[in-house]
Structure 1
Amino acid sequence: MTSRLVEQLGARHVAGATAIELADRIRALILDGRITVGERLPSERALAIELRRSRSTTTRVYGLLEADGFVSRVHGGGTRAALPHSDTVIPTVDDDTMIDLSIASMDSTPGLYDATVRSLPRLATLRRTSGYSLQGLPELRDAVAQRFSARGVPTTPEQIIITSGALNALNLILATLNRRGDRALVEQPTFPHALEAIHRHGYRMLPTPVDHDGWDERHVTDTLLHGRPHIAYLIPDFHNPTAATLPESARARIATTARNVGTHVIVDETTAELDIDRGWTPTPLAAFSPEVITVGSMSKIAWGGLRIGWMRAERSLVTRLLAVRPSFELGTALLEQCIALELLQDMPALTAHIRSRLRDGRSAVARGVADLDGVDMPPAPGGLSAWLDLGAPVSTTLSLAARARGLVVPPGPRFAMGGVLERRLRIPITLPPERTALAMERLRAAWNDVYAGHTPRAADVPHSAVI
């Protein structure tokens, strides 16, 4: 059985790599969180067998990592991933000198303060209640249901559960539907934390490719028909990270195929409102099948610090979800729900602000990419990011070089399985233009370092995991 380390490395992609190059790859996996601190790694002998390399090579790899503090080895306890300890001050992503591109999110909407003030009287009326809100405030569920209905998916408040963010909703769905060892269809690339959640719930993942020009619809339907996965996780609107939108005809065929084979389709709509200039508004995938489960949140349209999400599902599944939810939380914070209700009543202003910010951010990234020889920036009509084509499989190397330049940017393989997508790099379009311009200057310096053959030493790299 292939170890997680080799799955993340991608055996094909490290064939012929030197011990130093292998150590660099493993260090990158640890730095961006694909291998967790404390995780047990294969023995030197097992790693040599999996990679079809000599034992002396893997011994040297672990020796290099241990010398830099990226693995710890205890007699009888095996080899485990670690982060270095140092008496010197090393920049982290919390350091003001660092620019963090690992989180594609904007700061709060200008209307958040006023919405918070307006929400306080509503919160005051709730003081006589227990304060627990297992399904969510009826008024907020009604507001979310009305938004679904307005978009072509007739919905009642009883079909809505308010959650502490979309990822919280996804974990609740996975915990309720869970069949460990079964298959899950996932896009490649996709939201990394969704991959981690699906993996943690014991699913075996079946990837289907997505690029800036869209999905391979035949591959999706063939995977559903022949793989018969228990769940499918899709981001059909302004896909993260490619910004692609699934065509309406494909939505109908995929929803029908999934229903016929008994696959639970989980649609992530956290990016659905992030339109810049797409030019059309698709019908939500849930309109094509009543079994589709949809999750969304306020994090991308208002503020990441407002931990409010929701899910829409059939009433029978809502009953099951509510039975499971108390095992790990008793509801969603009431203040945040009151604020979200105020914000949802002013969506035209919210979306106008988002469109302006994203357009400016996209332009700033495009100006920076113009200075990177050989790098292509595909169209990004909305969404969170630009999915750059680097023209060569150097994403991990570039990510390491960028850290040495004070820039945290996760490499393409962070959004996939098996070490693939080394030609790709996600750059958020969500930062203020001046911050983006500085980030792109540092990326250009790192790009020049890579092509000049200057690789960062371990001591020069900020030791912090990508979020």
Structure 2
Amino acid sequence: MTSRLVDQLGAQSVAGATAAALAGQIRALILDGRLTVGERLPSERALALELRRSRSTMTRAYDLLEGDGYVARRQGGSTRVALPHAYISPREHEDESAIDLSIASMDSTPGLYDATVRSLPRLATLRGTSGYSLRGLPELRDAVAQRFTQRGVATSADEIIITSGALNALNLVLATMGRRGERAVVEQPTFPHALEAIRRHGYRLLPTPVDVEGWDAVHLSELLLESRPHIAYLIPDFHNPTGATLPDAARSRLAATARNTGTHLIVDETTAELDIDRGWAPRPMAAFGPHIITVGSMSKIAWGGMRLGWIRAERSLISRLLAVRPSFELGTALLEQCIAIELLAEMPALTAHVRSRLEAGRAAVAAGLETIEGVRMPHTNGGLSVWVDLGAPVSTLLSLAAREHRLILPPGPRFTTGGVLERRLRIPITLPPARTTEAMDRLRLAWTDVREGDFSHRDELPRAAVI
């Protein structure tokens, strides 16, 4: 079994790399958050064996990292991830001139203010209550259930729990039904924080490929049948980051296979309403079986600042979720719930605004990428981003070069389980067009640096690097 460091590096990507280049790639993993502070790294001898390189090369790479403060070593002991003492986290000291493409989220819908004002009388009627709502307000659960019903799967309010966002919903599901040591199928690439949550709950991750053309249905089916995983985490609508959508027929086959293997499908619908011009609407995955658990959120269609999501599941699981939830949370904020009731009553206007914003963002990205030779942007019908093909495995290098131009740009491997997809880059289409145009100008400068050799894995990366 390979170490997590080698999984993240990708053995092929470091084949023949010098000690300085290897140190640079490990440093990139640390700055990008794929290796965590305090995490133990393999010994020099073990790493040399895994990579089939000389021990002296591994020693030199660790020496470089230690000299810059990115690892801490004890004589005869362990090597652990660290950060330089002068390092300033971007969350502690924001660089206002930087453009952050690590967050694919729009600003608030114009209707948010009016919805907030209209929600206040409802909130006022709740002042006489305890203020806790473990299951969620009945009116909001009913509104979410109605939205599922409108989309093609009959749903009642008692099949819904309101949560503090979709990631909170995923963690509640995993805390309730997780089994340490079991297998979990995940898409490759996928939402990085979901990977972290599933791994933190002790699952062994089994990746299945997804690209802009969609899923490898044969691979996914065979993976389920052969490994019989406990769970599978999927984003079937405007997949993050590729933008692909799983057709109805494939959904039906997948649900049937998962039912036969005893696999619980956890479906993330955070991006389900982000349609630009797909031209067709699939049925929700929940329509294909009671073993399917759906998580959703208001963050992408209303505002990221609204920490409100939900879980749709069969009633027996809802009861188990409610029993576990008080161990780490007593409910979702009432103000957000009151606002969401108002917003869900105006879904046509809300989705029309989202469509207009995403269409403008997509056009701005396309215009910017046209000026960057060698980069290919696939057509994207909706979702949060475009999954760009760089034409060469330089994503991490480009991400590091972008920092020099105050552009925060997560590389393709950030969305994977094992340091792969270095040819790919996720670019959000959610920023205002003018901001996107500026971001593409900075990306072009970083691309020129990489292509002309003006940027390489340096011994001295900026100590106040933004991530």
TM-score (structure 1 length as normaliser): 0.97
Identity of aligned residues (%): 74
Mapping of residues 11-410 of structure 1, within 5 Å: 11-75=11-75, 78-86=78-86, 94-410=94-410
Aligned to 1:461: 462
User: Kindly tell me: are residues 381 and 120 of structure 1, through their superposed partners in 2, closer, same or farther at Cα, counting changes over 3 Å?
Assistant: same
3-state DSSP of counterpart to 1:267: strand
Q: Secondary structure at the match of 2:79?
A: strand
C-alpha distance in 2, partners of 1:405/1:427?
16
Alpha-carbon separation, structure 2, partners of 1:232 and 1:98: 36
Task: Please list the CA deviations of residues 383-426 of structure 1 after superposition, one character each: whole Å capped at 9, or x if unmatched.
Answer: 00010000010101111111111111000000001111000000
State the alpha-carbon separation in 2 of the partners of residues 423 and 462 from structure 1.
27
* Contact 1:84-1:463 at 8 Å conserved across structures: no
Residues 189, 241 of structure 2: 8 Å contact kept: yes
Structure 1 residues 294 and 61, CA gap change in structure 2 (3 angstroms):
same
Which amino acid counterpart does residue 343 of structure 1 have in structure 2? L
Alignment check: 8 A CA contact 1:91 1:97 kept: no
Deviation at 1:85, TM superposition (A): 2.8
1:46 CA drift (Å): 1.9
Distance 1:461 1:306 in 2: 34
Number of equivalences: 466
CA distance in 1, matches of 2:256, 2:87: 59
Q: CA deviation at 1:432?
A: 0.5
Residue 449 (structure 1) shift: 0.5
Alpha-carbon distance in structure 2 between the residues aligned to 1:274 and 1:16: 43
Aligned Cα root-mean-square deviation (Å): 1.7
Assess, with a 3 A threshold, how the Cα gap between structure 1 residues 370 and 120 changes in structure 2: closer, same or farther: same
Matched residues in 1 for 2:201 and 2:161: separation? 21
**1:47/1:83 CA distance change after superposition, 3 Å:** same
Is this contact kept in 2: 1:188–1:415, CA < 8 A?
Answer: yes
Superposed displacement of residue 2, structure 1: 2.1
Contact 1:92 1:98 in 2 (8 A): no
Residues 163-206 of structure 1, C-alpha deviation per residue, up to 9 Å, x if partnerless? 00000000011111111111111100000000000111111111
Does the residue aligned with 1:402 lie in a helix, a strand or coil?
Answer: helix
Q: CA–CA distance in 1 between the matches of 2:37 and 2:342? A: 41
C-alpha distance in 2 between matches for 1:425 and 1:130: 47
**CA-CA distance at 1:110 after TM superposition:** 1.1
Following the alignment from structure 1 to structure 2, what is the Cα–Cα distance between the partners of residues 203 and 91?
29
Tell me the secondary structure at the aligned position of residue 387 of structure 1.
strand
How far the C-alpha of 1:458 sits from its partner, in A, is: 5.5
Structure 2 gap segments, 5+ residues each: none
Amino acid at match of 1:195: L
Distance 2:174 2:285 in 1: 19
Aligned-partner Cα distance in 1 for 2:112–2:91:
31
Q: Provide the C-alpha distance between the structure 1 equivalents of 2:351 and 2:261, rounded to a whole number of angstroms.
A: 37
Is the contact between residue 92 and residue 463 of structure 1 (CA under 8 Å) also seen in structure 2?
A: no
Give the structure 2 partner of residue 441 of structure 1: 441
Following the alignment from structure 1 to structure 2, what is the Cα–Cα distance between the partners of residues 68 and 91?
21
1:103 maps to a residue whose letter is I
- Equivalents in 1 of 2:298, 2:413: separation in Å? 27
C-alpha distance 325-90 of structure 1, shift in aligned 2 (>3 A): closer
The 2-side partners of 1:295 and 1:124 are apart by 29
- TM-score between the two structures when normalised by the length of structure 2: 0.97
CA–CA separation in structure 1 for the residues paired with 2:108 and 2:38: 35
Asked if 1 retains the 8 angstrom alpha-carbon contact of 2:66 and 2:72, the reply is: yes
